[in-house]
Amino acid sequence: MRVVESPVSDLTTEPVSEALPRTAFSRADVVGLVREKRYEEALAVLYRARSDSPGDLEIQRSIGQIKEFLIGAYAKRLGGLDQVAVRIPTSATSSPDALLVDRYIDGTSTFGDIAQVCPLGQLRTLQLLIELSSAEKAAPEPGPVVSFLSAPPAETEDDRRYRELFALGTTAFVQHRYAYAVEAFEACEELRPGDRAASVMLRRSRRDLEGR
């Protein structure tokens, strides 16, 4: 996996500050953060402003603008969204969100594919893919490489069933069919007790189902 070394703060293109909200409680802070290229912090300020003024269209437009910029910046750091994501050892990360993203790294899906289907959302998924890429670079050298002609480990019936159920649960979650998502992720937990990715998604599905 090729990772571009220059951080987001090295990029010269930045969101247009004129489009930022004019509300006194956020505009000055956001403009200052954007000028300092502290885009994640600017986005956090805008999210707080939106919670106070949920109907403010300027705030919402500014959030969309900075998110779009950050997605492009993260894509550059990953070497492009058309690059295929490479799996890393599970031991290299302990974050439940990162473990969830890792479920979508199958050796053929690109960063763009994963960002589109992961229920965490495109921006958060790309952030985690960068973290996973960094973990891959920091991981110890692997042992002897098995020939690519060797047959991959055989998938058991439980493995196949888990994979299908997790995909069904994720699809249901994205479609806001939370009752179906809960059912699928409960079945995943029965197949793999203690599985962190299934546990995270089950908890989120139950939370959103109860909040409807």
Q: What would the pLDDT profile of 129-172 be if each residue is shown by its tens digit?
A: 888 877 655 544 444 444 333 444 566 888 888 888 888 888 88
Please write the tens of the pLDDT for every residue from 87-98.
766 555 557 778
DSSP 84: B
CA 177 to chain centre: 20
Instruction: Indicate yes or no: pTM above 0.75.
Output: no
Please give the Cα distance from 148 to 154 (Å, whole number): 15
* Domain spans of the chain, in order of start: 8-77, 90-137, 157-210
- Please give the distance of CA 199 from its chain centroid, rounded to a whole number: 17
